[in-house]
Structure 1
Amino acid sequence: MKAIQITEFGGPEVLQLAEVPDPVPQPGQLLIEVDGAGVNYADTHAVEDSYLSSSSLPMIPGGEVVGRTGDGRRVVALTATGGYAERACAWAPMATDIPDEVSDAAALALVVQGLTAWNLLRTSARIAPGESVVVHAAAGGTGSLAVQLAKRFGAGRVIATASTKEKRELALSLGADEAVDGEAEGLKERLIEANGGKKVDIVLEMTGGPVFDASLASLAPFGRLVTYGMASREEPTPLGAAKLMGHSTAVVGFWLMHALGRPDLHTEPMRELLALVASGELTPQVGGTYPLAEARQVHEALRARKTTGKLVLDPRQ
């Protein structure tokens, strides 16, 4: 079968189209004919072996697929790796049937990014009605869903950040009350101004480095910063207990892997998200569908912050 395989760690240049053997499902796994493979920012870390879990070579990247099982089910599924291919295996509990009203790309937008957005707000931030929420990278796959879900979950004010005017306008169209530039310099002041001169209650942060520091400084007492990524590949300033105690703030880490296998954090939210999309109450942003052979170019654009919404690789092209 065709697949994107890497035989050395590195940047997008190591992504190569190759002919590889078909995967063989283990007992309890499903073999899926892949119609689309989702691309996530975490994939760029996996390819360079800089993510929370280590990678091994050779490797077929990709942690999410949509397609058909041998008995004809149309499913979206999480895979550890192996998604950028014509066929992939997934453990049966990690696969969810897709309603007819939900497109392949929309389903792919939910399985990692939708579940992440849901858990950031519900599980980690424990959002309460009326609270202010900052969503960084609000035009991206996770951010665009988090903006919509924050409003649905009762946020009093949603403040989006994005790197361009066009991306900020997209965030506003999805329900954000304010949208500001996400650059680290002056970020604390912009967030407070966007919240009517008051510090904010919740920040969803996936950049790290100076953006993390500015986000933490913008929190009101009892505010929560939920960190779920390292896009800048920079570490924030080290934290100490006195700094958190002195402002009564909290920093919470989130990694989707810890939610998998828990019905309350995975199965039930996934069904809820699919139902919201099917009814038109939640709109995933689809950034584009590309041939499998263009995986390198998709990773380059993603790392350069030139994309919006969900990116999909089609192994049939």
Structure 2
Amino acid sequence: MKAVIQYEFGNANVLTYTEVDKPTIGEKEVLIKAAYTSVNYADIKKRVGNKGKGKFPLMLGLDVAGVVEEVGPRSPFSVGDRVIAFPNNGSYAEYVVAKESLVYKIPDSLGFEQAAAMPTVSILSYMLLHEIAQVKPSDTIVIHSAGGGVGSMLVQLAKHAGVNKIIGTVGNFAKASYVKKLGADVVCTYETFSEEVLKETNGAGAHVIFDSIAGEVTGQSLECLAFYGTLVQFGNSSGKAGTIRTSDVHSSCRNLRGFSLGTTRERDPERLKPVAEKVIERFASGEVSIPIAQVFPLKETALAHQLVESRQYQGKILIKM
């Protein structure tokens, strides 16, 4: 089968389109013929080696949409089922293997492009909003990187949940109209968001701030987080650790909550199933959707990575098998 793998860390040129052996399934696993996969920023970080030593050859990719090709005995899935999944060892390939606990059926009404765009960003966003932060309709919330994959999904889900005020941050105002169209009430840049949030809340601060950037943004977020507010940290795209003083927490009664979808896939996969069913239903009904910025053929995966790194796009980047 065709796949994209890498033999070393580096820029997008290390991604190699090649022929590899078709994978085989083990106990309680399924083989999926992939239709599309998505490119997530986590793929970029893993490609350049920010997560320590890698085992090569390495295949990237977190999620996939496709059709079940092979199942084991007593499997809850059947050959021909349309599914989304989190594969075991990457998704940049024509065939992938996934554990049954991380495979979810999708209805015929949900196209493969939207299905492939949604697994990582929508399941993560739903859990952040409703389980981790437990956002209430009366809240004012801040969503950093609101034009990115998770950020744009958070904005939509928050709007759908009737959240009082949604403030999105962007790297530049070129994405402001896009973020407002998704449902944000206010859009500001990282340079001014702390002042803007205090202005929009009459000095009280935001009830919840979703931070996937870390670094300096974390400290600035605490400056505009309300007493008893919650800072949810779920990434560090800046590549720098955020600094938090204990005095910023206990005396203000603020909460700090961390969450990782990757950790949850590994340690508590059953927790994801009910969430996946809820977001699949919302996508199938058309209540929410993800704009598709561009679709690349598998052999042009390196170009897809370059576009993601440029941040000059809106929506999700997909790879078609």
TM-score of the pair, normalised by structure 1: 0.92
Q: Give the equivalent residue in structure 2 for 1:189.
A: 195
Gaps of 5+ in 1: none
| Distance of aligned partners of 1:103 and 1:220 in 2 relative to their CA distance in 1, 3 Å threshold | same
* C-alpha distance in 2 between matches for 1:274 and 1:121: 16
Q: Give the equivalent residue in structure 2 for 1:244.
A: 249
8 A contact 2:178–2:314 mirrored in 1: no
| Distance of aligned partners of 1:149 and 1:87 in 2 relative to their CA distance in 1, 3 Å threshold | same
Q: Secondary structure at the match of 2:272?
A: helix
State percent identity of aligned pairs.
29
Q: Give the equivalent residue in structure 2 for 1:99.
A: 107
8 A contact 1:6–1:16 mirrored in 2: yes
* C-alpha distance in 2 between matches for 1:262 and 1:58: 26
One-letter identity of the residue aligned with 1:128: K
* C-alpha distance in 2 between matches for 1:314 and 1:195: 44
* C-alpha distance in 1 between matches for 2:32 and 2:200: 46
One-letter identity of the residue aligned with 1:222: Y
8 A contact 1:46–1:54 mirrored in 2: no
Gaps of 5+ in 2: 70-78
* C-alpha distance in 2 between matches for 1:109 and 1:96: 14
* C-alpha distance in 2 between matches for 1:285 and 1:145: 10
* C-alpha distance in 2 between matches for 1:152 and 1:13: 40
Q: Give the equivalent residue in structure 2 for 1:270.
A: 276
Q: Give the equivalent residue in structure 2 for 1:145.
A: 153
Q: Give the equivalent residue in structure 1 for 2:73.
A: none
Tell me by how many angstroms 1:220 deviates. Answer: 0.4
Q: Secondary structure at the match of 1:81?
A: coil
One-letter identity of the residue aligned with 1:21: D
Mean Cα deviation higher: 31-40 or 244-253 = 244-253
Equivalent position to 1:171, from 172, 179, 184:
179
Q: Give the equivalent residue in structure 1 for 2:3.
A: 3
Runs of 4+ in 1 over 3 A off after TM superposition: 194-198, 258-263
Count of matched residue pairs:
310
Q: Give the equivalent residue in structure 1 for 2:22.
A: 22
Q: Give the equivalent residue in structure 1 for 2:74.
A: none
* C-alpha distance in 1 between matches for 2:272 and 2:227: 30
Q: Secondary structure at the match of 1:247?
A: coil
Tell me by how many angstroms 1:262 deviates. Answer: 4.7
The answer to whether residue 168 in structure 2 is matched with residue 160 in structure 1 is yes
Tell me by how many angstroms 1:167 deviates. Answer: 1.6
Post-superposition CA distance 1:155-184 (Å, at most 9, x none): 211111122334211111111111112x3x
* C-alpha distance in 2 between matches for 1:36 and 1:133: 33
Q: Secondary structure at the match of 1:259?
A: helix
TM-score of the pair, normalised by structure 2: 0.91
Tell me by how many angstroms 1:196 deviates. Answer: 4.8
Mean Cα deviation higher: 142-151 or 245-254 = 245-254
Equivalent position to 2:96, from 88, 99, 110:
88
